Amino acid sequence: MLDKKKSDCQKLNIKAKYRELISEQDLKRRIKELGEEISRDYESKCPILIGVLNGAFIFMADLIRELTIDCEVDFVKISSYGNKKVSSGNIKLIKDFDCDVDGRHVLVVEDIADSGRSIRFLEEMFSESKPKSLKFVSLLLKEGGAVVDFELDYVGFRIENEFVIGYGLDYAQKLRNLSSIQVLD
């Protein structure tokens, strides 16, 4: 089994060329700032942070450690990329959230926003559950990639329209473990 996994990584060309876009230090600094801002905005509230799997899990873990408020955590999993570098445009719900969001403050945590389709899909999905408030935080906002109108309440970094990996972001489920954001060439 171990040999098969190793050969799968080789088939993907795991040693693909990539270059650093956002350093580990810059990620830590900006996430601390986001944590402070969110803590101020949600003071005396207990929001539910709902991470979008798989990509947002590292960002969300670091973000909640920077919060100074009480919060709850849940996850939802959607997919639109599969093993490609370009979104199919079709959003599929893989795992629904488990918590009751009716009358609660909900903050959806995304790794990256580009076309806006995922944000719109999640906005519609959560709105049906009647949260008291619904806001979105995304570590990255890819400039110039929107195909639908969408709004983010908190943005870590604005980036060019390039395919990025690392810090939870993947290519065919690989390279999530890089400690910084890299551009895959």
42 to 47, 107, 108, 153: CA distances (angstroms):
7, 10, 14, 13
What was the pLDDT predicted at 4? 46
What was the pLDDT predicted at 15? 58
User: Residue 9: inside a domain, yes or no?
Assistant: no
Over residues 20-37, mean pLDDT: 98
Tens digit of pLDDT for each residue in 84-143?
A: 555 556 888 888 788 889 999 999 999 999 988 999 999 999 988 999 999 999 999 999
Going by pLDDT thresholds of 50, 70 and 90, the confidence category of residue 184 is: confident
Tokens read off for 99: 């918590």
Q: Enumerate the H helices of 42-112 as residue ranges.
A: 57-66
User: Residue 151: inside a domain, yes or no?
Assistant: yes
User: Residue 19: inside a domain, yes or no?
Assistant: no
Which residue among 3, 70, 98, 114 is the active-site one?
114
What was the pLDDT predicted at 25? 98
Do strands 154-159 and 133-142 pair parallel, antiparallel, or not at all (unpaired)? parallel
Extended strands (E) in 72-178: 72-79, 92-95, 105-113, 133-142, 154-159, 164-165
Tens digit of pLDDT for each residue in 110-125?
A: 999 998 899 999 999 9
User: Residue 114: inside a domain, yes or no?
Assistant: yes
| Residue 106 belongs to domain with CATH number | 3.40.50.2020
- Residue 144 belongs to what domain range? 46-81+97-160
18's enclosing H/E stretch is strand 18-22
Domain count within the chain: 1
| 4 contact partners, CB below 8 Å, separation of at least 6 | none
User: Residue 168: inside a domain, yes or no?
Assistant: no
Is the pLDDT at 1 greater than 50? The verdict is: no
User: Residue 134: inside a domain, yes or no?
Assistant: yes
By the 8 A CB rule, do 176 and 54 touch?
yes
What was the pLDDT predicted at 83? 53
Neighbouring C-beta atoms of residue 107, cutoff 10 Å: 25
90 to 77, 79, 146: CA distances (angstroms):
14, 8, 15
Q: What is the pTM of this model?
A: 0.86
Q: Enumerate the H helices of 18-172 as residue ranges.
A: 24-41, 57-66, 117-127
User: Residue 31: inside a domain, yes or no?
Assistant: no
Length of the chain: 185
Amino acid at 155: V
Q: Is 100 a catalytic residue?
A: no
> What percent of the chain is predicted at pLDDT more than 90?
66
User: Residue 58: inside a domain, yes or no?
Assistant: yes
Is the pLDDT at 76 greater than 60? The verdict is: yes
